[in-house]
Chain A
Amino acid sequence: MIHAEIEKAIRQVINNKRRVLTNEADLASYSYDASFGVFLPDIVVQPTSTNEVVGIVKLANKYKIPIYPRGRGTSLSGGPLPVHGGIVLDFSKWTDILIIEPDDLVAIVSPGVITADINKKANQFGLMYPPDPSSSHVSTIGGNLAENAGGPHGLKYGVTKDYVLGLEVVTADGEVIQTGGRTVKNVTGYDLTKLIVGSEGTLGIITKAILQLIPKPQSTGTLLVLFDDLIIAGRAISSILTGGILPSKLEIMDQASVVAVEQFDPSGLPTEIEALLLIELDGHPAAIEAEAKRVKEICLEIGAIEVKIAKTKEEEAELWKARKLVSPAIVRKKPTKISEDATVPRSRIPDMFQRLKEIRDRYNIDLVVFGHAGDGNLHPNIIADKRDIEEMKRVEKAVEEIFKAAVELGGTLSGEHGIGTMKAPFMEMELGPTGLSMMKRIKEAWDPYNLLNPGKVFPEPGQRFVLTNE
């Protein structure tokens, strides 16, 4: 699809052989991300300046070639997959700008900067960048912005979109616009910043971002709470929050995850419990101490069977160990892990657990549930073997039902992973035909030739949910 003439033009824009990849092995290496599906691009380019992006977009326009922005390929929804061939724009080499301006509490970053590096650098000034997807030590900020990523901090601090003040964006016809600015308050016109964040590269290509930082809390404290009844665990979450305490993280593990972790690396957690909560508090050490005491009281009053408070940093790490071990523990059984992020209102967490249990039984699948219970963002994880086609068909049906359950309970398809290719077939279920059509109209206005990351967010004609490559 990319003729020699076009390749030559691309090489004139990116005047560095090492940043234009065309050989078989390289193309195969940009055909996947952390989700499902394999699609070969025709060429991979690694821009390191806005001018280069403008040049490539203009070429794409001239020759009508699709473009797919990509960070480090950690997407769980298929965001960067080149589903219609064309040009993959890999931003991972564009890391030159990472400036912290402590007086304005902002960070100015290039799209390829690793998310965790922003927080690390902010920490040097006593500041923090709160969004913390679990892949933040790998993922790029560009990818996080495109997908509006979140993590455990979502409960107290919100997600990526809550920390973006301004963007530099290359439009579909190769023009450069600035959205927002560097102030927290800014109501000048439509909020294009928030429109672009989470648009998954379908409306424009982010080439620079101005991010908001906040003062870093002095300290953290951790509690581990065990429950023999899931409903009570759900009630405990609400009671902690209505009790005037806002934990910085509030994570849940169900019985199946606890059992898997104990079989993998025993640490003495009782496997007969129905749920376990991990709670992190942050702030002034005196406040943490008082709040930890209060959380313990609340949990015990409501019926927790045990509460442990970490006394040292080492003990804190020990308590979090179980949560970190869930992934390695569950894949021992079967290699394929389907990680969903359906999210429900906090009060419906127990209902969602009930629905998940029914789905597990109905389709006879291996399902464990853990995740960010504090903000209703559960991670039902299905363990399967993608070589077992029959099993994968059952899994596909189960995942469809998980989405349906989340929407029926007043929740959403995706809390933090994005829609990508994976969830596009379910968009209408959540948004309704008019809701989806209004989105489509925005897309058509911004990108009339459908060149920016085609095949994402909106379902293609006849597209259905698949987890197999064949």
Chain B
Amino acid sequence: MSRSHLLAYEETFACVQCGYCLPKCPTYETTGVETQSPRGRINLVKLLAEEKISIESAASSIELCLGCRACETACPTNVQYGTILQSAKELIAKEMPASKMESLLLEKGIPNKKWQKVAGRGLEIAQKTGMVSLARKAGIMRVFPDSIQAMESIAPVIKMPKKKEREYRVLPPIGKKTYTVGFFVGCIMDMMFSKINDDSMKLLQLAGFKVTLIEEQTCCGALLHHSGKKRETIALAQKNIAVFEKYDFDFIVNSIGGCGAMLVEYPELFDEHSEWRSRAEKFASRCKDISVLLAESSLPFTKEIRKVVAYQPSCHLQHVQKVINEPHQLIKKIPGIDYRLFENQDMCCGSAGIYNVIHYNEAMEVLDQKMNHIEKVVPDIIVTSNPGCHLQMKLGVRREGKTEKIKVVHIVELLAEACGIS
């Protein structure tokens, strides 16, 4: 069992193989094969640790996991699936060369000049943090013939890196001050959807928070972490923890389901009882998704929005950060809204970081199933809470030929509109 120490082997024993995770797993639902289920993957990691199966055999199942972690919410025995998955990804990253698709993407590079420019000139962390992959997420889909048109239309207008434009400053609360907030912008979010960050901070101000934007913050490291690159993730985590420690914010707030999940899981990167562990714990306990703070505040709505709205939750917001009810509550509070729930709403849309770049076909199967459910409630607006999901939902709408009929917005944009911001 020479591999058992490299994998979360002990954790696999917590799985009693009841199968309650199966109906919640998007890849099980689309493939109908046990191998692509959480129970199947846990079993493979166990066999891998016991050297009863080759790493090549186990790898495709592990790589096809979206990492949405809906299985953790469904699990009656609290199996630490995220830890098990992560350990397998780290082992695969270490022992296997980059997957074929990934090398293909690397070879082809970014086929579009504009994207090359963004990645090349952009924040220097881009290359280090997997942001290149995300730039590719929008750009590289052009590799696939059927998505050329689709991606062209959903790619947001990139504002060139705003490092210099963005004013790093303190935004005073409007009305009575409640708490102090350090705002976490996220690198991808700030590059592709900087307006959502701007709106977020304005909403926090309106809700009575004193918001500070500090320049020294860096990428959360989530994409690197998902690719099994632990050392690089730790470096970014340490930087963020250290720079936010200098300020004594009551909360560190973000509007990005995926990044927020990484931030709250920083403690797991460090050894128990280590100094960094306790610093990370303190940091993580202050990290909140914007919907949590806004749901407890009263927002001054000034505009009715008479639309049918559906909400596609970010997996990492609901299954890792365990923020489930707040976005629903916030949407329902907006005057005029006809809010509708749909079947399998809590299931992943297939975006999953750079999953839909690397595993395009599988991601599209998950997406098509999602669109199938969502279209039954005939929404005018689909609300998201994470930039990856945002792009994916736009692609979904586009694939269904509904770009004219259905708008995709981040929850912050919807709230901002109802509050007369923008």
Contacts and interface: CB of A to CB of B under 8 A. Distances in A.
Interface of A: 18, 21, 23-26, 28-30, 32-34, 46, 72-74, 90, 92-93, 114, 135, 137-139, 327-328, 331-332, 335-337, 385-387
B207 to A, nearest CB: 28
Given A138-B23, A328-B76, A328-B78, A385 B13 contact: yes
B53 A138 contact: no
Interface stretch (B57-65, B137-145, B212-220, B265-273): B57-65
A21 to B, nearest CB: 7
Interface string B55-98: 00110110000000000000011100000000000000000000
Contact of A46 (B32, B40, B43, B77): B32
A114 B76 CA distance: 19
B34 A29 contact: yes
B20 A386 contact: no
Interface string B5-28: 000000001101111101100000
Contacts of A24: 53-54, 57
A381 B183 CA distance: 49
B17 A114 contact: no
Given A25-B53, A25-B60, A28-B53, A337 B16 contact: yes
B227 interface: no
A335 B42 CA distance: 14
Contacts of A21: 33, 35
B61 A25 contact: yes
Interface in B373-413: none
A178 to B, nearest CB: 28
Contacts of A46: 32-33
A29 B43 CA distance: 7
A209 to B, nearest CB: 20
A29 B13 CA distance: 16
Nearest to B62: A25
Contact of A135 (B19, B39, B53): B19
26 contacts: A18-B31, A21-B33, A21-B35, A24-B57, A25-B35, A25-B60, A25-B61, A28-B53, A29-B35, A29-B44, A30-B34, A32-B43, A33-B17, A34-B18, A72-B22, A73-B17, A90-B34, A114-B23, A135-B18, A137-B20, A138-B19, A328-B78, A336-B13, A336-B16, A337-B77, A387-B13
Given A29-B33, A29-B35, A29-B44, A72 B16 contact: no
Given A24-B53, A24-B54, A29-B37, 7 more contacts: A25-B35, A28-B57, A29-B40, A34-B16, A135-B19, A335-B13, A336-B13
B63 to A, nearest CB: 12
Contact of A328 (B34, B60, B77): B77
B76 A327 contact: yes
Q: Which 9 pairs, one residue from A and one from B, show the smallest C-beta to C-beta distance?
A: A29-B34, A29-B35, A29-B40, A24-B57, A335-B13, A331-B77, A93-B32, A74-B19, A327-B76
Nearest to B32: A93
B22 A138 contact: yes
B287 interface: no
Given A72-B19, A327-B77, A335 B32 contact: no
B222 interface: no
Contacts of B43: 28-29, 32
Contacts of A34: 16-19
B188 interface: no
Contacts of B52: 28
A283 B52 CA distance: 54
Contacts of B54: 24
Contacts of B76: 327-328
B4 to A, nearest CB: 11
B35 A335 contact: no
Contacts of B14: 331, 335
Interface string B222-234: 0000000000000
B126 interface: no
B47 interface: yes
From DSSP, what is the main secondary structure of chain A's interface residues?
loop
Interface residues of B, number: 30
Nearest to A117: B23
Contacts of B78: 328, 331-332
Contacts of A336: 13, 16
Contacts of B44: 25, 28-29
A29 B40 CA distance: 5
A27 to B, nearest CB: 9
Given A25-B44, A28-B53, A73 B34 contact: yes
A46, A135, A137, A138 — which one has the most chain B CB atoms within 10 A of its CB? Answer: A138
Contacts of A114: 23
A286 to B, nearest CB: 31
Nearest to B40: A29
A113 B394 CA distance: 32
A135 B40 CA distance: 18
Contacts of A90: 34
A138 B57 contact: no
Contacts of A332: 78
Contacts of B23: 114, 137-138
A233 to B, nearest CB: 25
Nearest to B61: A25
A120 B17 CA distance: 25
A147 to B, nearest CB: 14
B56 to A, nearest CB: 9
Nearest to A21: B33
B53 A74 contact: no
Contacts of A335: 13-14, 16, 77
Contact of B20 (A30, A32, A138, A385): A138
Residue among A18, A73, A92, A137 with the highest chain B CB neighbour number at 10 A? A73
A337 B76 CA distance: 12
A21 B61 CA distance: 14
Given A26-B33, A73-B34, A32 B19 contact: no
A30 B37 CA distance: 12
A92 B34 CA distance: 10
Interface string B151-187: 0000000000000000000000000000000000000
Contacts of A139: 19
Given A32-B43, A386-B13, A73 B77 contact: no
Contacts of A331: 14, 16, 77-78
B57 A23 contact: yes
Most buried by A among B34, B57, B77: B34
A32 B18 CA distance: 10
A25 B57 contact: yes
Interface in B274-325: none
A250 B179 CA distance: 49
Counting chain A CB atoms within 10 Å of each CB, the highest count among B22, B39, B57 belongs to B22
A138 B19 CA distance: 7
Contacts of B40: 29
A38 to B, nearest CB: 9
Nearest to A385: B13
A70 to B, nearest CB: 9
A18 B36 CA distance: 13
Contacts of A387: 13
Contacts of B22: 72, 138
A418 B168 CA distance: 66
A135 B14 CA distance: 18
A29 B27 CA distance: 14
B17 A32 contact: yes
Nearest to B75: A328
A76 to B, nearest CB: 9
Nearest to A24: B57
Contacts of B37: 29
Contacts of B57: 23-25, 28
A244 to B, nearest CB: 36
B20 to A, nearest CB: 6
Contacts of A25: 35, 44, 53, 57-58, 60-61
A21 B22 CA distance: 18
